[in-house]
Amino acid sequence: MTIKKGVSLYSLQDAYGRGGMGLEGTVAAVEEMGAQGVEILSDQMIRGAARASEETLAEWEAVMERHPLERVSNDIFINSSLYKNRWLTLEEQVDALSADLRLTHRLGFPLVRIVSQTDPAVIRPTLPLAEKLGITMAVEVHAGMSFDHPLTEAWIKEMREVDNPHVGLVVDFGIYCQRHPRVSTDYFREVSGVNEDVIKYIDDIFARGTDPRQFFPRNPDNPDDYEFPDELTRHFHSFDDRFYAMMSTGYENTPLDTLDEYLPYIKSFHGKFWEVTDDGEEYSIDYGRIFTRLNRLGFDGYVCSEYEGQRFTLPGEPIADLEQVRRHQELMERHLNDGKNDGTGAAQNDGK
Amino acid sequence: MFDGYIFTENSLANAEEDGKTIGFQMRTRIPYYRGIPLSMVHDVEVELDGEAVPREDIRFTADDGKHWFTLEEMETVTFFRWEYADEATVRVLRDGGLAPGEHEVLLRVSARVAYIPVPFSGEMRRTVTI
């Protein structure tokens, strides 16, 4: 029973694209960092995706032979907004998902991470194919739409009813934030001139041990629509002030007890991070606290580094994705055994 | 937050066809983190010296000019993908292209993604000298 370290190539999208490292360059970098596993987004790094050529698939296989990392998960998206004038029908969504299941099988991954807000009605029609291919379908539980979001709740309800090992969850550590990411604050301060009073108001919400999503009343008819109190809106002097407050609902301080409840369904984790600081810890997420709980619960599986700080790199600054992922792998290595053996160190790390 | 991916630096040039300058063009990366069919490119907007270019004058290719589309045509292009690794070219039809001198050009690209109600977009304004 152990936590294993992986890297989602999402983290290295900039190095891959603008940086020109390509698929093999990024996979080799992940191997060099000491990760055991790799997670990809086939829509990002497999040319043609579900219509990939035999040549592209052979190239992927050759890359993985030269860099033998365990294939953890393929992150897929159903392009429900493919047409401008209508949403895809359920049948079309099932077709799209089936094509991605076949691709995932060809790429040698046992797990697909399905993006948040996917209609759970796709599960039953695709389950026979998933079982035949030996692939598990797991919806992402992402901050801003975690366990209490109606669409995530609907997926969980369907998952429980289907009660099949090929259906589960991938939980993103972004739901266990205890502070607003500092790099995001700096970005909005610098680029949009967001009002310091708004920044402080949001930081104070986290300081009270909760998060904006739980703190702001929600429109009962729209779970993504928040009502901001007057004591906050009086600080809104520009669209960006309101935008910052809205964006802050995308970071959650969900109680860690949710792990106890959902662990039996959790197939893998996204080790979300925005900034590994110079002292080697994530600024917003206490990895020691989460790893302690996971080890106590006996989690046996992957946590894949998922770097999101590239989004908040200041204009003109280089994106430090390789360096940040390397630091994050080191961070996870140090916390790997937190909470094991129930020793004193673990007790200190419990964070309750 | 994708502004840095839009309007590749030093990519703007007048576009020639059969020895005739038919407009100007620039390259851009996708304001998103994966490849998408062209139908999911929600909009491409260009402003030249503060004035919006007519939508029907814009042409787009994501495969180095093997296929050019108007923005209206692109709405039904569900087969060709704009791959994440590739730069697309945005061309504005304009007889004679840009006159010599300094111009301010704004490029804004939006992608309609699967699960976010508002399209992802990025924009970049550059001062270019022809």
Give how far A243 is from chain B: nearest CA, Å.
Answer: 13
How far is the C-alpha of A209 from the C-alpha of A212, rounded, in Å? 10
How far is the C-alpha of B81 from the C-alpha of B63, rounded, in Å? 9
- Would the CB atoms of A41 and B75 count as touching at under 8 Å? no
How far is the C-alpha of A212 from the C-alpha of A346, rounded, in Å? 30
Torsion of CA A325, A331, A332, A333, to 10 degrees: 110
How far is the C-alpha of A37 from the C-alpha of A73, rounded, in Å? 9
**CB nearest B115 (choices: A44, A83, A116):** A116
Tokens of A51: 């219509």
Q: Are A10 and B33 in contact (CB under 8 A)?
A: yes
Amino acid residing at A343: G
Whether residue A117 lies within 8 A of chain B, CB to CB, comes out as: yes
Cβ atoms within 10 Å, residue A340: 17
- Would the CB atoms of A82 and B1 count as touching at under 8 Å? no
**CB nearest B81 (choices: A41, A49, A312):** A49
Q: What is the pLDDT of residues A221-271, one digit of tens each?
A: 888 889 999 999 999 999 999 999 999 999 999 999 999 999 999 999 999
Tokens of A299: 């989690």
Judged by phi (left if over 0) then psi (alpha if -120 to 50, else beta), residue A128 lies in: alpha
Give how far B46 is from chain A: nearest CA, Å.
Answer: 20
Counting beta carbons within 10 angstroms of the beta carbon of residue A164, is it exposed (0 to 12), middle (13 to 18) or buried (19 or more)?
A: middle
* Cβ neighbours of B113 in A, within 8 Å: 77, 81
How far is the C-alpha of B65 from the C-alpha of A68, rounded, in Å? 37
Q: For each of chain A's 352 residues, which pLDDT tens digit applies?
A: 799 999 999 999 999 999 999 999 999 999 999 999 999 999 999 999 999 999 999 999 999 999 999 999 999 999 999 999 999 999 999 999 999 999 999 999 999 999 988 999 999 999 999 999 999 999 999 999 999 999 999 999 999 999 999 999 999 999 999 999 999 999 999 999 999 999 999 999 999 999 999 999 998 888 888 999 999 999 999 999 999 999 999 999 999 999 999 999 999 999 999 999 999 999 999 999 999 999 999 999 999 999 999 999 998 899 999 999 999 999 999 999 999 975 544 444 444 4
Whether residue B75 lies within 8 A of chain A, CB to CB, comes out as: yes
How many residue pairs bridge chain A and chain B with CB atoms within 8 Å of each other? 69
What element of type H or E holds B16? strand B13-17
Q: What pLDDT, on a 0 to 100 scale, did the predictor assign at position A352?
A: 40
- Check the CA dihedral B94-B98-B99-B102 and report its sign: positive
The greatest distance separating any two alpha carbons of chain A, rounded to the nearest whole angstrom, comes to 60
Give how far B111 is from chain A: nearest CA, Å.
Answer: 10
- Would the CB atoms of A79 and B37 count as touching at under 8 Å? yes
- Would the CB atoms of A45 and B39 count as touching at under 8 Å? no
Give how far A332 is from chain B: nearest CA, Å.
Answer: 25
Whether residue B118 lies within 8 A of chain A, CB to CB, comes out as: no
- Residue in A9, A46, A84, A151 to test binding to B, most B beta-carbons within 10 Å: A84
Tokens of A278: 């110079």
Q: What is the pLDDT of residues A297-325, one digit of tens each?
A: 999 999 999 999 999 999 889 999 999 99
Contacts (Cβ under 8 Å, ≥6 apart) of A247: A184, A188
